[in-house]
Amino acid sequence: MELKWLEDFLSLAETRSFSRSAEARHVTQSAFSRRIQALELWLGVGLIDRSTYPTTLTPAGRRFRETAEETVRMLQASRVDLRAGTGSGGPVVSVAALHTLSLAFFPAWFRAIEARTGPIGTRLLPDDFHNCLQAIAEGGYDFLLTFHHPSVPILLDPEFYPHRVVGADALVAVHGPTLPVPSADAPTPLLAYAADSFLGRVSLFAQAQGTAQGEVPPGRVAHTNANAMAEALKAMALEGHGLAWVPRSLVTRELAEGRLIATGAAVPLEIRLYRDRARTRAAVEAVWAAAEADARTAQDDPTS
Protein backbone atom coordinates (compact mmCIF):
# COMPACT_ATOMS: atom_id res chain seq x y z
CA MET A 1 0.00 0.00 0.00
CA GLU A 2 1.32 3.45 -0.94
CA LEU A 3 0.66 6.80 0.70
CA LYS A 4 -0.34 8.31 -2.65
CA TRP A 5 -3.20 5.82 -2.87
CA LEU A 6 -4.66 7.23 0.34
CA GLU A 7 -4.16 10.80 -0.88
CA ASP A 8 -5.86 9.88 -4.18
CA PHE A 9 -8.79 8.35 -2.31
CA LEU A 10 -9.23 11.41 -0.09
CA SER A 11 -9.11 13.69 -3.12
CA LEU A 12 -11.83 11.63 -4.81
CA ALA A 13 -13.94 11.63 -1.65
CA GLU A 14 -13.73 15.43 -1.68
CA THR A 15 -14.27 16.18 -5.39
CA ARG A 16 -16.50 13.20 -6.22
CA SER A 17 -15.02 13.33 -9.71
CA PHE A 18 -12.30 11.10 -11.19
CA SER A 19 -11.38 13.75 -13.77
CA ARG A 20 -11.10 16.63 -11.29
CA SER A 21 -9.11 14.55 -8.81
CA ALA A 22 -6.78 13.27 -11.54
CA GLU A 23 -6.12 16.86 -12.58
CA ALA A 24 -5.53 17.94 -8.97
CA ARG A 25 -3.16 15.01 -8.42
CA HIS A 26 -1.27 15.74 -11.68
CA VAL A 27 -1.82 12.32 -13.25
CA THR A 28 -3.88 11.04 -16.15
CA GLN A 29 -7.40 9.88 -15.37
CA SER A 30 -6.56 6.30 -16.33
CA ALA A 31 -3.53 6.27 -14.00
CA PHE A 32 -5.60 7.81 -11.21
CA SER A 33 -8.32 5.18 -11.69
CA ARG A 34 -5.76 2.37 -11.55
CA ARG A 35 -4.39 3.67 -8.25
CA ILE A 36 -7.89 3.77 -6.71
CA GLN A 37 -8.46 0.21 -7.91
CA ALA A 38 -5.12 -0.84 -6.43
CA LEU A 39 -6.18 0.53 -3.04
CA GLU A 40 -9.50 -1.33 -3.26
CA LEU A 41 -7.68 -4.55 -4.15
CA TRP A 42 -5.26 -4.10 -1.23
CA LEU A 43 -8.19 -3.58 1.18
CA GLY A 44 -10.32 -6.29 -0.36
CA VAL A 45 -13.46 -4.09 -0.51
CA GLY A 46 -14.97 -1.60 -2.92
CA LEU A 47 -14.61 2.00 -1.79
CA ILE A 48 -16.26 3.82 -4.69
CA ASP A 49 -19.79 3.47 -6.05
CA ARG A 50 -19.18 4.01 -9.76
CA SER A 51 -22.86 3.60 -10.68
CA THR A 52 -23.82 7.08 -9.46
CA TYR A 53 -23.01 10.58 -10.63
CA PRO A 54 -21.41 12.40 -9.05
CA THR A 55 -19.27 9.58 -7.66
CA THR A 56 -20.12 8.52 -4.11
CA LEU A 57 -18.41 6.39 -1.48
CA THR A 58 -19.70 2.96 -0.57
CA PRO A 59 -20.50 2.30 3.12
CA ALA A 60 -17.03 0.74 3.40
CA GLY A 61 -15.55 3.81 1.72
CA ARG A 62 -17.24 6.13 4.19
CA ARG A 63 -15.87 4.09 7.11
CA PHE A 64 -12.38 3.96 5.62
CA ARG A 65 -12.29 7.71 4.94
CA GLU A 66 -11.67 8.51 8.60
CA THR A 67 -8.81 5.99 8.77
CA ALA A 68 -7.26 7.42 5.62
CA GLU A 69 -7.56 11.02 6.88
CA GLU A 70 -5.96 10.17 10.21
CA THR A 71 -3.19 8.09 8.63
CA VAL A 72 -2.23 10.80 6.14
CA ARG A 73 -2.38 13.50 8.80
CA MET A 74 -0.22 11.55 11.24
CA LEU A 75 2.38 10.69 8.60
CA GLN A 76 2.59 14.29 7.43
CA ALA A 77 2.80 15.60 11.00
CA SER A 78 5.49 13.08 11.87
CA ARG A 79 7.52 14.10 8.84
CA VAL A 80 7.31 17.77 9.85
CA ASP A 81 8.18 16.95 13.47
CA LEU A 82 11.16 14.79 12.53
CA ARG A 83 12.55 17.40 10.16
CA ALA A 84 12.10 20.12 12.77
CA GLY A 85 13.37 17.96 15.62
CA THR A 86 10.13 18.41 17.57
CA GLY A 87 7.23 16.25 18.67
CA SER A 88 4.30 18.62 18.27
CA GLY A 89 2.03 16.29 16.29
CA GLY A 90 -1.17 15.53 18.18
CA PRO A 91 -4.82 14.53 17.82
CA VAL A 92 -7.08 16.58 15.55
CA VAL A 93 -10.86 16.79 15.22
CA SER A 94 -12.80 18.34 12.34
CA VAL A 95 -15.80 20.61 12.88
CA ALA A 96 -18.21 22.08 10.33
CA ALA A 97 -19.72 25.19 11.93
CA LEU A 98 -22.08 27.95 10.89
CA HIS A 99 -20.26 31.22 10.17
CA THR A 100 -21.60 33.00 13.25
CA LEU A 101 -20.82 30.12 15.61
CA SER A 102 -17.27 29.82 14.26
CA LEU A 103 -16.73 33.46 15.25
CA ALA A 104 -18.87 34.07 18.32
CA PHE A 105 -19.06 30.66 20.03
CA PHE A 106 -16.47 28.12 18.95
CA PRO A 107 -13.22 29.76 20.25
CA ALA A 108 -14.31 30.09 23.89
CA TRP A 109 -16.31 26.83 23.86
CA PHE A 110 -13.40 24.80 22.55
CA ARG A 111 -11.07 26.35 25.11
CA ALA A 112 -13.41 24.91 27.77
CA ILE A 113 -13.35 21.55 25.98
CA GLU A 114 -9.53 21.50 25.95
CA ALA A 115 -9.53 22.29 29.66
CA ARG A 116 -11.06 18.82 30.06
CA THR A 117 -9.28 16.91 27.29
CA GLY A 118 -5.88 18.55 26.99
CA PRO A 119 -4.65 20.06 23.72
CA ILE A 120 -6.47 18.89 20.60
CA GLY A 121 -5.97 20.36 17.15
CA THR A 122 -8.98 21.41 15.09
CA ARG A 123 -9.87 21.62 11.42
CA LEU A 124 -12.74 24.10 11.17
CA LEU A 125 -15.08 24.62 8.20
CA PRO A 126 -17.01 27.90 8.63
CA ASP A 127 -19.86 27.74 6.11
CA ASP A 128 -23.61 28.02 5.63
CA PHE A 129 -26.10 25.51 7.00
CA HIS A 130 -26.49 23.49 3.80
CA ASN A 131 -22.74 23.04 3.25
CA CYS A 132 -22.08 22.20 6.90
CA LEU A 133 -24.86 19.61 6.84
CA GLN A 134 -23.41 18.13 3.67
CA ALA A 135 -19.91 18.07 5.16
CA ILE A 136 -20.89 15.83 8.07
CA ALA A 137 -23.37 13.71 6.07
CA GLU A 138 -20.70 12.85 3.49
CA GLY A 139 -18.35 11.61 6.21
CA GLY A 140 -15.63 14.24 5.93
CA TYR A 141 -16.13 15.89 9.33
CA ASP A 142 -16.41 14.60 12.88
CA PHE A 143 -18.80 17.26 14.20
CA LEU A 144 -21.44 19.76 13.12
CA LEU A 145 -21.93 22.89 15.23
CA THR A 146 -25.21 24.57 14.38
CA PHE A 147 -28.12 26.61 15.65
CA HIS A 148 -31.46 24.85 16.06
CA HIS A 149 -35.01 26.18 16.06
CA PRO A 150 -38.22 24.12 15.79
CA SER A 151 -39.21 25.97 12.61
CA VAL A 152 -36.22 24.48 10.77
CA PRO A 153 -35.87 20.70 11.28
CA ILE A 154 -32.37 19.25 10.98
CA LEU A 155 -32.73 16.13 8.86
CA LEU A 156 -30.03 13.93 10.37
CA ASP A 157 -30.91 10.43 11.57
CA PRO A 158 -30.39 10.56 15.36
CA GLU A 159 -29.24 6.94 15.34
CA PHE A 160 -26.21 7.86 13.25
CA TYR A 161 -25.90 11.56 14.13
CA PRO A 162 -26.69 12.11 17.83
CA HIS A 163 -26.48 15.61 19.25
CA ARG A 164 -25.84 17.48 22.47
CA VAL A 165 -27.14 20.95 23.34
CA VAL A 166 -23.93 22.86 24.13
CA GLY A 167 -25.18 26.44 24.38
CA ALA A 168 -27.92 28.96 23.74
CA ASP A 169 -28.37 32.14 21.75
CA ALA A 170 -31.30 34.17 20.42
CA LEU A 171 -32.27 35.84 17.18
CA VAL A 172 -32.96 39.52 17.76
CA ALA A 173 -34.15 42.32 15.48
CA VAL A 174 -31.67 45.22 15.47
CA HIS A 175 -31.27 48.52 13.66
CA GLY A 176 -29.08 51.60 13.81
CA PRO A 177 -30.20 54.64 15.86
CA THR A 178 -30.61 56.75 12.71
CA LEU A 179 -33.23 54.52 11.09
CA PRO A 180 -36.30 56.66 10.27
CA VAL A 181 -39.61 55.97 12.01
CA PRO A 182 -41.70 53.79 9.67
CA SER A 183 -44.91 55.07 8.11
CA ALA A 184 -47.50 53.87 5.59
CA ASP A 185 -45.57 55.65 2.84
CA ALA A 186 -42.15 54.54 4.09
CA PRO A 187 -42.27 51.08 5.71
CA THR A 188 -39.24 49.76 7.57
CA PRO A 189 -36.48 48.57 5.22
CA LEU A 190 -35.69 44.94 6.07
CA LEU A 191 -32.28 43.30 5.67
CA ALA A 192 -32.92 39.69 4.74
CA TYR A 193 -31.14 36.38 4.33
CA ALA A 194 -31.76 34.09 1.39
CA ALA A 195 -35.22 32.65 2.05
CA ASP A 196 -34.00 29.02 1.86
CA SER A 197 -31.14 29.50 4.35
CA PHE A 198 -31.36 28.46 8.00
CA LEU A 199 -31.34 31.99 9.44
CA GLY A 200 -33.55 33.14 6.57
CA ARG A 201 -36.27 30.67 7.56
CA VAL A 202 -35.98 31.44 11.26
CA SER A 203 -36.00 35.21 10.63
CA LEU A 204 -39.18 34.89 8.51
CA PHE A 205 -40.78 33.10 11.47
CA ALA A 206 -39.49 35.78 13.87
CA GLN A 207 -40.65 38.65 11.67
CA ALA A 208 -44.14 37.18 11.30
CA GLN A 209 -44.39 36.55 15.04
CA GLY A 210 -43.09 40.00 15.97
CA THR A 211 -45.35 41.78 13.49
CA ALA A 212 -48.43 39.83 14.63
CA GLN A 213 -47.72 40.83 18.24
CA GLY A 214 -47.13 44.46 17.28
CA GLU A 215 -43.53 44.39 18.51
CA VAL A 216 -41.83 44.65 15.12
CA PRO A 217 -43.11 47.00 12.39
CA PRO A 218 -44.04 45.52 9.00
CA GLY A 219 -41.58 46.38 6.30
CA ARG A 220 -40.27 45.87 2.81
CA VAL A 221 -37.15 43.88 1.90
CA ALA A 222 -34.49 46.42 0.99
CA HIS A 223 -31.47 44.11 0.87
CA THR A 224 -30.95 40.35 0.62
CA ASN A 225 -27.68 38.72 1.58
CA ALA A 226 -27.49 35.63 -0.64
CA ASN A 227 -24.61 34.11 1.37
CA ALA A 228 -26.67 33.90 4.59
CA MET A 229 -23.94 35.57 6.65
CA ALA A 230 -25.30 37.33 9.72
CA GLU A 231 -22.07 39.33 9.91
CA ALA A 232 -22.90 41.01 6.60
CA LEU A 233 -26.39 41.99 7.74
CA LYS A 234 -24.97 43.31 10.99
CA ALA A 235 -22.64 45.58 9.00
CA MET A 236 -25.57 46.84 6.91
CA ALA A 237 -27.63 47.54 10.04
CA LEU A 238 -24.73 49.46 11.60
CA GLU A 239 -24.63 51.68 8.53
CA GLY A 240 -28.34 52.46 8.89
CA HIS A 241 -29.61 50.45 5.93
CA GLY A 242 -32.47 48.81 7.82
CA LEU A 243 -33.60 46.25 10.38
CA ALA A 244 -31.93 42.83 10.55
CA TRP A 245 -32.50 39.66 12.54
CA VAL A 246 -29.13 38.49 13.86
CA PRO A 247 -27.87 36.23 16.68
CA ARG A 248 -27.57 38.25 19.89
CA SER A 249 -24.04 36.92 20.54
CA LEU A 250 -22.91 38.71 17.40
CA VAL A 251 -24.13 42.16 18.50
CA THR A 252 -23.67 42.15 22.29
CA ARG A 253 -21.07 44.92 22.24
CA GLU A 254 -22.92 47.09 19.70
CA LEU A 255 -26.15 46.87 21.73
CA ALA A 256 -24.31 47.82 24.94
CA GLU A 257 -22.66 50.78 23.20
CA GLY A 258 -25.92 51.99 21.63
CA ARG A 259 -24.67 51.57 18.08
CA LEU A 260 -27.50 49.13 17.50
CA ILE A 261 -30.99 49.07 19.04
CA ALA A 262 -32.99 45.89 19.65
CA THR A 263 -36.68 45.80 18.72
CA GLY A 264 -39.23 43.28 19.94
CA ALA A 265 -38.81 39.95 21.68
CA ALA A 266 -35.86 37.71 20.86
CA VAL A 267 -36.40 34.23 19.40
CA PRO A 268 -34.50 31.56 21.41
CA LEU A 269 -31.99 29.36 19.57
CA GLU A 270 -30.27 26.22 20.78
CA ILE A 271 -26.63 25.63 19.92
CA ARG A 272 -26.21 21.97 19.06
CA LEU A 273 -23.19 19.76 18.50
CA TYR A 274 -23.88 16.80 16.22
CA ARG A 275 -21.40 13.99 15.70
CA ASP A 276 -20.94 11.32 13.07
CA ARG A 277 -21.19 8.13 15.14
CA ALA A 278 -19.17 6.23 12.53
CA ARG A 279 -16.09 8.34 13.34
CA THR A 280 -14.68 6.89 16.56
CA ARG A 281 -11.11 8.09 17.07
CA ALA A 282 -10.01 8.67 20.64
CA ALA A 283 -9.93 12.45 20.12
CA VAL A 284 -13.52 12.44 18.82
CA GLU A 285 -14.73 10.43 21.81
CA ALA A 286 -12.86 12.73 24.19
CA VAL A 287 -14.42 15.89 22.74
CA TRP A 288 -17.88 14.27 22.78
CA ALA A 289 -17.54 13.31 26.45
CA ALA A 290 -16.15 16.76 27.34
CA ALA A 291 -19.04 18.45 25.53
CA GLU A 292 -21.51 16.48 27.66
CA ALA A 293 -19.65 17.32 30.88
CA ASP A 294 -19.40 21.00 29.92
CA ALA A 295 -23.11 21.15 29.09
CA ARG A 296 -23.97 19.56 32.45
CA THR A 297 -21.82 22.11 34.27
CA ALA A 298 -23.57 24.95 32.44
CA GLN A 299 -26.99 23.57 33.41
CA ASP A 300 -26.00 23.23 37.05
CA ASP A 301 -24.48 26.73 37.12
CA PRO A 302 -25.98 29.05 34.47
CA THR A 303 -23.52 31.81 35.42
CA SER A 304 -20.49 29.64 34.55
Tens of pLDDT, residue by residue over 68-96, are: 988 888 787 776 656 655 555 578 899 99
pLDDT tens digits, 243-257: 999 999 999 999 999
Residue 13 has pLDDT above 70, yes or no: yes
pLDDT tens digits, 46-57: 999 988 888 889
Do 76 and 111 fall into the same domain? no
Instruction: Give residue 275's region: left, alpha or beta (phi > 0; psi -120 to 50).
Output: beta
Contact 191, 243 (CB under 8 A): yes
Name the residue with higher pLDDT: 30 or 264.
Answer: 30
**Spatial separation of the C-alpha atoms in residues 146 and 169, rounded to whole Å:** 11
Do 112 and 39 fall into the same domain? no
**What does the pLDDT average to over 122-145?**
90
Element (H, E) at 246: strand 243-247
Residue 202 has pLDDT above 80, yes or no: yes
Model confidence band, residue 120 (pLDDT cutoffs 50, 70, 90): very high
> Is 265 in a helix, a strand, or coil?
strand
**What does the pLDDT average to over 174-195?**
83
Count of CA atoms in the C-beta half-sphere (13 A) of 116: 17
Do 124 and 229 fall into the same domain? yes
pLDDT reported for residue 301:
62
pLDDT reported for residue 19:
92
Q: Of 84, 103, 136, at which residue does a domain stop?
A: 84
- The CATH number of residue 34's host domain is 1.10.10.10
pLDDT tens digits, 274-288: 999 988 889 999 999
- The CATH number of residue 256's host domain is 3.40.190.290
SS3 content of the chain, % helix, strand, coil (to 5): 45, 25, 30
Do 198 and 265 fall into the same domain? yes
Q: What percentage of the chain carries pLDDT values higher than 70?
A: 92
Do 149 and 43 fall into the same domain? no
Do 56 and 202 fall into the same domain? no
When divided into structural domains, the chain yields a total of: 2
Name the residue with higher pLDDT: 133 or 195.
Answer: 133
pLDDT reported for residue 145:
97
Model confidence band, residue 302 (pLDDT cutoffs 50, 70, 90): low
**What does the pLDDT average to over 6-16?**
92
**What does the pLDDT average to over 108-133?**
93
Strand partners, 33: none
State which amino acid sits at residue 188. Answer: T
Nearest to 45 by CA among 74, 65, 19, 26: 65
Structural domain containing residue 137: 92-304
